Structure 1
Amino acid sequence: MHVRNGPDLTRRWDRRMELPLLVASPLFLACYAVRVLDTSPDPFWRDLALALALLIWAVFAVDYTVRLLLSGRRPLSFLRTHLLDTVVLVLPLLRPLRIVNTYDAVQRRRDEPRLSLYGRVMAYAAITALLLSFAAALAVYQQERDAPGATIRTFGDSVWWACSAITTVGYGDVTPVTPLGRVYAVFLMACGVALLGAVTGSFSSWLIQVFDREDKERPPGG
């Protein structure tokens, strides 16, 4: 299906959705945090957080559908080129990662990145690590807090575990014991290795460029 002026319409839509998506991503995580951490007898705040989370999910679904229609591509082709958007739409736990795409759009305003490539990689890695760690800590705490034999009994324990897991340190003093908690752990550790590799590779490339530039600028025989 061909859409007339599809690329222009898509860019216009993306610009209009930058701010709403930038706000919606961390807000969804905040709603999830309320659902997990609020243990008061009154369910008002938990119900309000659930309603708001569903509304935010609808915003992401509308954004995804509109961009699919404007692209003029078949659904499978669009899915391959927008894998992150598809993943965060299907898996609610990862929806805050949509902030990475929004951050990229803001940085590329006027088609000129404000940060270097290496700076953007490190910034994305930092944002992703923070969001993933907090989301994983919430998810694991939700699974582990009432499990028999669990070592993660408080949210503080879960945050400590998430920090050690994503940094690939893995002290082992607190570990998930439930099947779903261990699935979250494997996913977080895999993301930690990937993020560490991205940051290390970018920093190494930046150093090589700096040294190469200094060698070229150095006077002959200097």
Structure 2
Amino acid sequence: MNARAEAAAPRRKHWEDLTTVPLAILGVAFIGAYGVWVLRPEDPAPVHVVIAVILVVVWLVFLVDVVVRIALTPKGHRWAWVRHHPIDFMSAVLPVFRALRVVGLVVEVPYFRRRSGNAVRARFLVLAVLYALVFVVFIALATLSVERDAPGATIVTFGDAMWWAIVTLATVGYGDTYPVTTPGRWYAVFLMAGGIAILGVASATVISVLNERLAEIERGRHEARAGRPSDADGDGDGDSDVDTAADGLDDEGEPIGFQAREGLVPEAPDGASD
């Protein structure tokens, strides 16, 4: 959303400021509860009842949060808000996406708020890594929950699920483990789409770094040709000995002979001959 649309919803912004940290804590609680629900099916029934209550309550809180944020957005900008906050909106439908809300707190670190190129790239890289980690773990848990009791299942342990999720995210796909149920295959679709997005962000970051380094090298060469080279040799003359020699000048800026430039013999003084 643009700055004008954001400014038009001060009440929503106030609501988000108040609820970001509590919702992030609930997101962590949701991750923990869901992990226990999937990984410890042998726990007593009362434990599963408590976990189920936690999951339902958190889901309802997430749903209320999304409804309130949409309601506090001016009518002309509500669909724009939904388009620009897909994870928040999907959390009202599939609560597993709400776990990704926790990653948003990384943006609040002061360094990542800076506008420099390094800070922006670092922000993208850290967010990509954290999103990938949370995404893989949650998809692995969800897939394990629907696969392990299915006939002919190859994903029957959390280790199997993590292995399958990682090789799928990396677009390798060995084929030794794979989902056999319809829900499991839908989770695989989400995972493959996420893998393409994460690899795309990583590739774009690498290309950005290379382009910036090449631009710095080209800028240095242009400054050297324009007579403003850097003092690489540290002698305070504003130039490096190597660059000066390459330009055909001595340390005083005077032309030097071919042999002297090539480092063969010193140039003879004026008026001297063999």
Query: Under TM normalisation by the shorter chain, which class is it?
Result: 0.7 to 0.9
What displacement does 1:117 show?
A: 1.8
Partner of 1:150 in structure 2?
153
TM-score, with structure 1 as normaliser: 0.86
> Residues 73 and 166 (structure 1 numbering): CA distance in 2 closer, same or farther, change over 3 Å?
same
Alpha carbons of 1:186 and 1:161: their partners in 2 closer, same or farther (altered >3 Å)? same
1:124 maps to which of 118, 124, 127: 127
Match of 1:220 in 2: 224
Structure 1 alignment gaps of length 5 or more? none
**Whole-angstrom CA distance in 2 between matches of 1:213 and 1:18:** 40
Give the conservation status (yes or no) of the 8 Å contact 1:97–1:128: yes
- State yes or no: 1:159 paired with 2:156: no
1:189 aligns with 2:197: no
CA contact (8 A) 1:6 1:70 kept: no
More helix by share: 1
Q: CA offset at residue 107 of structure 1? A: 4.1
| AA matched with 2:187 | Y
> Separation in 2 of the partners of 1:109 and 1:42?
46
Q: Residue 107 of structure 1 contacts residue 113 of structure 1 at CA under 8 Å; is this kept in 2? A: no
Q: Residue deviations 1:150-201, cap 9 Å, x none?
A: 1112111111111111111212211111122112112201211111011111
- Residues 28 and 96, structure 1, Cα contact 8 Å, conserved in 2: yes
2:204 to 176, 201, 206: 201
**1:12 aligned partner, one-letter code:** H
C-alpha distance after superposition, 1:68-110 (max 9, x if no partner): 2222225434322332211122112222122244433x24799
Letter in 2 for 1:11: K
Larger Rg: 2
Q: Deviations over 1:119-149 (max 9, x none)?
A: 1111111111111111111111111111111
Other-structure match for 2:11: 9
- Which shifted more, 195-204 or 111-120? 111-120
CA contact (8 A) 2:112 2:119 kept: no
Kindly indicate whether the alpha-carbon contact (under 8 Å) linking 1:118 and 1:203 is maintained by their aligned counterparts in 2.
Answer: no
Q: Check conservation: 1:36, 1:142, Cα contact below 8 A.
A: yes
Deviations 1:49-74 (A, max 9, x none): 11112222222223222222222225
Which structure ranks higher in relative contact order (CA pairs < 8 Å, sequence separation ≥ 6)? 1
What stretches of structure 2 of length at least 5 have no aligned partner?
A: 1-6, 226-242, 244-274
Q: CA deviation at 1:39?
A: 1.9
Supply the AA of the counterpart residue of 2:27. S
Closer/same/farther in 2, CA of residues 186 and 85 from structure 1, 3 Å limit: same
Instruction: Return the letter of the residue paired with 2:215.
Output: D
Partner SS, residue 92 of structure 2: helix
CA separation in 1, counterparts of 2:177 and 2:206? 32
What percentage of residue pairs aligned between the two structures are identical?
A: 34
The farther-off stretch of 73-82 and 176-185 is 73-82
